Amino acid sequence: MKKEADPGINFFQRYLTIWVFLCMVVGVLLGHFAPVVPALLARLEYARVSIPMAILIWVMIYPMMLKVDFNSVRNVGKNPKGLFVTWIVNWLIKPFTMYGIASLFFFVIFKAFITPDLAVEYLAGAVLLGAAPCTAMVFVWSTLTKGNPAYTVVRVATNDLIILIAFVPIVKFLLGVSNVPVPWDTLILSVVLFVVIPLAGGMLTRSAVIKRKGQCTLRRLSSVCLTVQLPLAYC
């Protein structure tokens, strides 16, 4: 697969860790000094799915979807070895490893510090996190390691398509092992809200912007979305 020119990373991406940390600090302070705000947001849910959380996840995922060219999936057979490694790690290793590590910490190491109910909630969150493939930093890591941008896009695109099928059964199985009741409608609604909507929105926006304004405009739009993303999502 031909290696594309590396556009490099901008100032915002270079110090992404710092921005994430600062936003998390702001979020903790907000919850501590203005607890009425998270309490009010927690009430806004449907089928046990938080609507504010869904909106924030759209804000997080949408800029990533703008970068993904799903036409690149046609190149999936040119270098299958790396793709198999990616798929195996993301769908057969990472979710179960996250489940095991989370269970160890929440039910053994931190058993004296948190209640059983809170431990179950933390475990459920860890399972949801472990079952979702990482896309937010993939493009930055690829640039930092001087990787192949075209191949990175192929791997991200295929994982984003696999999640539509694999996410629900994996999460249902792992939470079922821990006796955590999660209705099927909640899981399916979560996939639609957290994956399908931002995925479709990103694909349609990318296609429309490239057709009318070109790749340069798309890159500028992606940078703007990424800049707006952090203060909202990580706070």
Could you list the pLDDT tens digit for every one of the 235 residues in the chain?
A: 444 444 556 666 677 778 778 878 887 888 889 888 878 877 887 766 778 777 777 777 777 777 777 777 776 677 788 888 889 998 999 999 999 999 999 999 998 988 888 888 888 888 887 887 766 567 667 777 777 777 787 788 788 788 888 888 898 888 888 777 777 777 888 788 777 888 888 888 888 888 888 877 877 777 666 666 655 555 5
Decide: helix, strand or coil at residue 165.
Answer: helix
Alpha carbons within 13 angstroms on the beta-carbon side of residue 97 total 8
Cα–Cα dist 190/183, whole Å = 11
**69 burial level (CB within 10 Å; 0-12, 13-18, 19+):** middle
pLDDT at 101: 94
pLDDT at 103: 92
CATH code given to domain 11-234 = 1.20.1530.20
H/E stretch holding 36 reads helix 36-42
pLDDT at 96: 93
pLDDT at 3: 47
For residue 211, give the amino acid letter: K
